């Protein structure tokens, strides 16, 4: 019987109730990993069954911990719950993220800071508590969610672009610091992906057209990335197939950045 590439591995996915995080959690479980989910809410934003229930159906262990990734105490509890229930932690996916879509002229300092707190401080804290454990085991895989907007910008998302650029810097800095401990730290940079996150664009043909025009590739006629595409990339970065990769990112953007 094929046990899967990640059989016996234990993972955490933040923001794993919905969208890309949910797809990553399920892709890791499909390859045999146990997955703890840390999110503000247990219910998927898009509706449907809870991620933990889907994973248990697949035959892996899974549980939910209510977590705000911007709160240090919450992240510490999430990581220690995973270690006490699973025995150890091999894979940390810092996926929880938010955006503010409006002109910089209308964005308050607090709104700007909140995006940085969730997207950057959240990834830092998730990494920090996972690393505390991984350092002593001298192995581990950390995956941060960057974005096509880590490399290029659009108007009206200045806080988001700033945060996702910083995620690349964080990924590189931690990769260098923890390379001597055999820990791989990389990022995935998705292009426009069909989740609740991008819903504001779906009903807006001008916005959707702009995204479509910037994406040269089509899969079955569709330009939007599917959450499952990111899930399979996460499996690669979580597995030994990527053991010589660290401090880098993989764009999964249908060619957005190739223009
Ligand atoms: N959808 C896209 O087009 C796209 C493109 C590039 C990068 N990304 C990144 O991928 C990640 C996931 O995005 P998505 O499209 O699945 O979004 P989503 O809104 O569908 O899901 C995000 C999940 O994160 C959770 N979350 C939000 N704030 C949190 C917090 N403070 N603590 C814990 N959990 C929190 C939400 O509850 C939700 O379950 C984000 O980091 C996002 O920036 C998305």
What residues does ligand 1 touch, defined as CB less than 6 Å away? 14-15, 17-21, 39-41, 45, 67-70, 95-98, 118, 145, 147, 190, 192-193, 195-198
Q: What is the pLDDT of residue 2?
A: 67
Count the alpha carbons within 13 Å of 77 in the hemisphere toward its beta carbon.
13
160 is catalytic: yes
Per-residue pLDDT of 3-42, as tens digits, reads 899 999 999 999 999 999 999 999 999 999 999 999 999 9
Give 3 Cα–ligand 1 centroid separation in angstroms. 30
CATH superfamily name and code, 10-258: NAD(P)-binding Rossmann-like Domain (3.40.50.720)
Mean pLDDT estimate for the chain = 97
CA distances from 178 to 131, 143, 216 (A): 8, 14, 37
> What single DSSP character describes residue 218?
-
Mutate to test the pocket of ligand 1, among 23, 50, 97, 166 (most ligand atoms within 8 A of CB): 97
Mutate to test the pocket of ligand 1, among 71, 96, 100, 152 (most ligand atoms within 8 A of CB): 96
Catalytic residue chosen out of the listed positions 149, 160, 178, 256: 160
Beta bridge partners of 140: 183
Closest of 180, 173, 184, 169 to residue 130, by C-alpha: 184
pLDDT category at 207 given cuts 50, 70, 90 is: confident
Please report the atom of ligand 1 found closest to the CA of residue 160: 43
CA distances from 220 to 25, 38, 109, 199 (A): 25, 33, 42, 21
Per-residue pLDDT of 116-131, as tens digits, reads 999 999 999 999 999 9
pTM: 0.98
């Amino acid at each position: 019987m094929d046990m899967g590439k990640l059989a016996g591995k234990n993972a955490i996915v933040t923001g794993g109730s919905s969208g890309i995080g949910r797809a990553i959690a399920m892709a890791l479980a499909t390859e045999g990993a146990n997955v703890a989910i840390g999110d503000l809410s247990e219910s998927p934003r898009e509706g449907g069954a809870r991620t933990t229930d889907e994973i248990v159906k697949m035959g892996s262990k899974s549980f939910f911990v209510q977590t705000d990734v911007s709160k240090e105490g919450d992240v510490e509890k999430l990581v220690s719950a995973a270690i006490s229930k699973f025995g150890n932690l091999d894979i940390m996916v810092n996926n929880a993220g938010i955006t503010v879509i409006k002109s910089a002229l209308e964005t308050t300092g607090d709104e700007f800071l909140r995006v940085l707190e969730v997207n950057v401080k959240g990834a830092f804290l998730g990494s920090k508590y996972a690393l505390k454990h991984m350092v002593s085991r001298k192995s581990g895989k950390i995956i941060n969610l960057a974005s096509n907007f880590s490399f290029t910008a659009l108007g009206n998302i200045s806080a988001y672009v700033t945060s996702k650029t910083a995620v690349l810097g964080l990924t590189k800095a931690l990769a260098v610091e923890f390379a001597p401990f055999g820990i791989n730290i990389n990022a995935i940079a998705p292009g426009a992906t069909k989740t609740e996150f991008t819903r504001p664009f779906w009903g807006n043909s001008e916005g959707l057209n702009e995204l479509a025009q910037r994406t040269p590739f089509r899969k079955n006629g569709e330009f939007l990335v599917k959450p499952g595409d990111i899930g399979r990339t996460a499996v690669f970065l979580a597995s030994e197939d990527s053991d010589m990769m660290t401090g880098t990112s993989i764009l999964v953007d249908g060619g957005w950045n190739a223009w």
